[in-house]
Structure 1
Amino acid sequence: MPNSTYELFESVSIYLGLGGLFILMGLAVHDVLKKNDVPLVGKLVVYGVLGAGALGFLAKGLIEMFWISTGV
């Protein structure tokens, strides 16, 4: 197989793996918050921070795609 195939497989694998980790972190956080009866403000802060991390990860991927498509 050509090197480009390996690079594509690695790229897709890392994005799927990290996306799965974000989902698992969200589920773990949800479980902890639910069991400890955290107030609404605390839940909003925790989910906001987790969401900001996920949005940063998504933004990084979009910026990379833009740079690669423009040849930077």
Structure 2
Amino acid sequence: MLYDHMETLETLGLNFLFAAIFFLIGMAIRDVLKQAKVPPFGQRIVWLVLFLGCAGFIVKGIIQVSWEGAGIG
């Protein structure tokens, strides 16, 4: 039974790995911004770029799932 769902488990595991990596990157950036005493405008720009990277990854996943469901990809 587990072998039948191996592809699904791999996909979920990879998605959780990427989520954990994004979280750790965010924590590292937060620490660097605090220690460097970056002004608020610069902090907002850094967080915006990080958010757009995460949002792009999420949108890519949604598009991939919808295309596979429609038989396109």
TM-score range, shorter chain: over 0.9
Percent identical residues:
34
For structure 2, the 5+ residue unaligned runs are: none
1:70 Cα offset (Å): 0.8
Show structure 1 runs of 4+ deviating over 4 A: none
1:49 equivalenced with 2:49 (yes/no): yes
RMSD: 0.7
Normalising by structure 1, we get a TM-score of 0.92
Give 1:6 shift.
1.2
Alignment partner of 1:31 is 2:31 = yes
Instruction: Give the C-alpha shift of residue 46 in structure 1.
Output: 0.6
Equivalences, count: 70
Number of the residue aligned with 2:15? 15
Ranges in structure 1 where 5+ consecutive residues have no aligned partner: none
Cα deviation for residue 68 of structure 1 reads: 1.2
TM-score of the superposition, structure 2-length normalised? 0.91
